[in-house]
Amino acid sequence: MVGEPDMTIELQREVEALRARIRDYELREVECGLVHQELTRAQRRWEGIFQGIAHPTVILDANHVVVAANRAVVMASGVSEEEIVGRKCYEIFHNSGCTEPQHSCPMEKMLRSNCVKTVEMEADAFGGVYLVSCTPVFDEGGKVDKVIHIATDITARKRAEEALRESEERYRIVADYSSDWDFWLAPDNSLFYVSPACLDITGYAPEEFYANPQLNSLIVHPDDMELMARHNEEAQTANERHAMELRIITKTGETRWISHVCQTVYDSEGRSRGRRASNRDITALKRAEEENRRLHAELEQRVKERTAQLEAANRELESFSYSVSHDLRAPLRHIEGFANILMEDYAETLDETARGYLERVVRATGRMEELVAALLKLARYTRDYMTFEQVDMSGIAREIAEEFSKSEPRRKVAVTIQDGVRATGDARLLRVVLENLMGNAWKFTGKVDEGIIEFGREMREGQAVYFVRDNGAGFDMAYADKLFSAFRRLHGSDEFEGTGIGLATVRRIIHRHGGEVWADAAPNQGATFSFTLSPA
């Protein structure tokens, strides 16, 4: 019995030990559960991060087998995650039927170097250009265990770069093949670009301009330096295009004229990219202009000399005509006087034939007197001083028509005068023009039953044309060139009276007003006389 308590104590000890082991186990189980929960949360966080990466990302083992793929891969390739995981990456993301890594594969380069590798490559599965990066993940032994494979879509950037290159190439082709000397200055006045034409225009090669951007200013002609300095100052503070003409001194010492145009260049964000300039060699044009100026001055001098000679000749001719006309009048009066004496004092002793001769002499001297008076008028109209003013042509035409109607009240003539016709000129001389033109119309409608005379103005090709129209005898246009010469008549004096000086007077006055006069007619169908005047 003495041994029973000892056994009980031993048993209790074992029970306590068992209980302690159970409590320890329970604590460890709780700890394992907490660790598991923490691992689960970490896995979820990692998964969220992995799936949230915007760029197509896969995790590979060292044999190119896909271990995991994020949503961006699925969206870019159109292949489900189940179809991707477990397959080699080059079978999925490269050309169909690919059985080994491509030569440009960044993972192969990474595996050889154990360093991160990044390359640009065409990703057939994604349909574009991607920047592919492979990052190694090492195990505890330092060997590559996994590879993080990230592909960044740079298709848009590459297309933009290609478009920029094409644009720059087009610009360079245009600029390089231009005959103008073009250049582009940066904001700091360094030289972005100079076209090859600079050699032909300045004698300096592009390399010389690149080496010394100040060469643009150094070759400016000394007399134009200040002009160029003001131009540069204004061009740098303004946005609009600036242009000027200046001279340069070429490498060989020749002076050339340049037409210079420049303007500030801005990028898409409104930032200044410097100044773009174009220079054209206009030396030949300037020489031609100078020659034209010389010829023009020489021509003006010749015109002045010829005009002076012509004016002197006209004055001499007018003086001669005036003198001759005056000198003719005295003998004409003597002839007419003596003829009248013979007819009065010796009428009874003269037979009918002699009296007829004397009557013809008297009529001829009268006619000659009229011609002399007409010559004097023509000379006076040529040299009279002119006063330019606004002239009421309609009013003058009405006054002339009324005078004709009063002189021959029995005639049936319908006169139409356009209202409000005005002109700029000498009122007295323009009245003479209308008196002659309307007088002719009145005279040459004398043999029609009902005469029609019209005066007015109309616009022809933007110019005011005045006209006097009638339905009278008219004339053959084949002889129209004789109309405006003195004493040249298309109708005999036995048909229609007149001196033959009226239209010559009209032309002289119209020419003094800087205008022209002409006629349109047909025999027995009337005539239209038109004239222009120089704009005021």
* Average pLDDT value for the chain: 81
Beta carbons within 8 Å of 87's beta carbon, 6+ residues apart = 65, 66
492 pLDDT tier (thresholds 50, 70, 90):
very low
Is it the case that residue 414 has pLDDT exceeding 80?
yes
> Is 376 a residue whose pLDDT tops 60?
yes
Q: Say how far apart CA 246 and CA 288 lie, in whole Å.
A: 16
**468 or 129, which is more confident:** 468
The amino acid that residue 486 corresponds to is A
Q: Choose among 487, 367, 515, 497: nearest CA to 429.
A: 515
Question: Is 323 among the domain residues?
Answer: yes
pLDDT tens sequence across 3-32: 555 656 766 676 677 777 777 766 666 666
| CB distance 110 to 116 below 8 Å | yes
Rounded to 5 degrees, φ, ψ at 302 are -65, -40
pLDDT value at residue 378:
62
Do 391 and 484 lie in one domain? The reply is yes
Confidence at residue 461, expressed as pLDDT on a 0 to 100 scale: 87
Ramachandran angles phi, psi of 286, nearest 5°: -65, -40
Q: Which has the closest alpha carbon to 182: 285, 280, 266, 267?
A: 280
Q: What is the pLDDT of residue 44?
A: 73
Residue 283's pLDDT band (cuts 50, 70, 90): very high
Query: Looking at the predicted structure, is the pLDDT value of residue 499 above 70?
Result: no
Range of 44-58, 64-78, 453-467 with top mean pLDDT:
453-467
CA distance 452 to 441: 9
Same domain, 305 and 357: yes
Name which of 255-259, 302-306, 347-351 the model is least confident about. 347-351
In this prediction, residue 39 carries a pLDDT of 63
The yes-or-no verdict on residue 493 having pLDDT over 60 is no
Q: Could you tell me which residues come within 8 angstroms of residue 44 by beta carbon, excluding any fewer than 6 positions away? A: none
Kindly state whether residues 95 and 36 are assigned to the same domain.
Answer: no
Residue 482 DSSP SS3: helix
Same domain, 345 and 293: yes
Query: Which ranges of 53-143 would DSSP assign to H, the alpha helix?
Result: 71-77, 81-84, 89-93, 106-113
* Domain end (from 338, 370, 402): 370
DSSP string covering 228-252: HHHHHHHHHT--S-EEEEEEEE-TT
In a domain, 6, yes or no: yes
Asked whether the predicted pLDDT for residue 371 surpasses 70, the reply is: no
Task: Assess whether 389 and 498 both reside in one domain.
Answer: yes
Distances (CA, A) of 20 to 16, 23, 24, 509: 6, 5, 6, 145
Read off the CATH number of the domain in which 257 is found: 3.30.450.20
Q: Higher pLDDT residue, 263 or 21?
A: 263
The answer to whether residues 505 and 395 belong to one domain is: yes
451-460 vs 422-425, strand pairing mode: unpaired
318-337 pLDDT, tens digit each: 676 666 666 666 777 777 78
57, 232, 245, 269 from 185: Cα distances, Å? 45, 12, 19, 19
Query: Is 172 among the domain residues?
Result: no
Q: What are phi and psi of 490, to 5 degrees?
A: -100, -10
pLDDT of residue 481: 72
**Whole-number Å distance between alpha carbons of 357 and 351:** 10
Over residues 362-387, mean pLDDT: 69
The domain spanning residue 412 has which CATH number? Answer: 3.30.565.10
Instruction: Determine how β-strand 451-460 pairs with β-strand 413-417.
Output: parallel
Q: What is the pLDDT of residue 11?
A: 65
Query: Taking 90 as the threshold, does the pLDDT of residue 446 lie above it?
Result: no
State the average pLDDT over residues 465-469. 95
Q: Is 149 helix (H, G, I), strand (E, B) or coil?
A: strand
Q: Which amino acid is at 43?
A: Q
Determine the pLDDT at residue 494: 46
Q: Is residue 376 part of a domain?
A: no
Per-residue pLDDT of 419-445, as tens digits, reads: 999 999 988 889 888 988 998 899 888
Amino acid at 305: E
Residue 166 in any domain: the answer is no
Cβ neighbors of 79 (< 8 A, separation 6 or more) are 73, 92, 125
Domain boundaries, position 524: 384-531
Highest mean pLDDT among 98-102, 164-168, 303-307: 303-307
Q: Crossing angle of helices 502-512/352-383, nearest 10°? A: 0
For 259, the 3-state DSSP assignment is strand
- Picking from 372, 371, 407, the residue whose alpha carbon sits closest to that of residue 489 is 371
Question: Does residue 432 contact residue 513 with C-beta atoms inside 8 Å?
Answer: no
Whether 109 and 202 map to the same domain: the answer is no
Reduced to 3 states (helix: H, G, I; strand: E, B; else coil), residue 148 is strand
Q: Is the pLDDT of residue 398 over 90?
A: yes
pLDDT score recorded for residue 40 = 66
Q: Is the domain of 432 the same as that of 503?
A: yes
- Region of poorest pLDDT, from 38-47, 49-58, 70-79: 38-47
pLDDT above 50 for 491: no
pLDDT band of 129, cuts 50, 70, 90: confident
426 domain residue, yes or no? yes
Residue 222 CB-density burial (10 A; 0-12 exposed, 13-18 middle, 19+ buried): exposed
Nearest in space to 87 (alpha carbons), one of 58, 54, 121: 58
Residues in a beta bridge with 262? 242, 277
Total structural domains in the chain?
5
Looking at the structure, tell me whether residues 346 and 439 fall in a common domain.
no
Of 252, 247, 276, 245, residue with least CA distance to 199? 252
Q: Compute the average pLDDT of residues 167-195.
A: 78
Higher per-residue pLDDT: 530 or 355: 530
Categorize the per-residue pLDDT at 256 as very low, low, confident or very high, splitting at 50, 70 and 90: very high
Whether residue 283 contacts residue 236, with contact meaning beta carbons closer than 8 Å, is answered with no
Same-domain status, 45 and 61: no
Residue 211 lies in a domain: yes
Distance CA 65, CA 458 (A): 97
- Helix or strand run (H / E) with residue 25: helix 3-52
Helix (H) or strand (E) holding 280: strand 272-281
Last residue of one domain, picked from the residues 255, 281, 307:
281
Q: What residues contact residue 427 under an 8 Å CB cut-off, 6+ apart?
A: 387, 389, 391, 396
Least-confidence region, from 21-25, 128-132, 406-410, 419-423:
21-25
Same domain, 255 and 302: no
Calculate what percentage of the chain has a pLDDT beyond 90.
21
Q: Is 525 left (phi over 0), alpha (psi -120 to 50) or beta?
A: alpha
Closest to 216 measured CA to CA, from 263, 279, 272: 279
In 96-159, where do the E strands start and end? 117-123, 128-138, 144-153
Backbone phi, then psi, for 113, in 5-degree steps?
A: -110, -15
- Cross-strand partners of 403: none
Same domain, 309 and 397: no
Say if 165 falls within a structural domain: no
Q: Is residue 276 helix, strand or coil?
A: strand
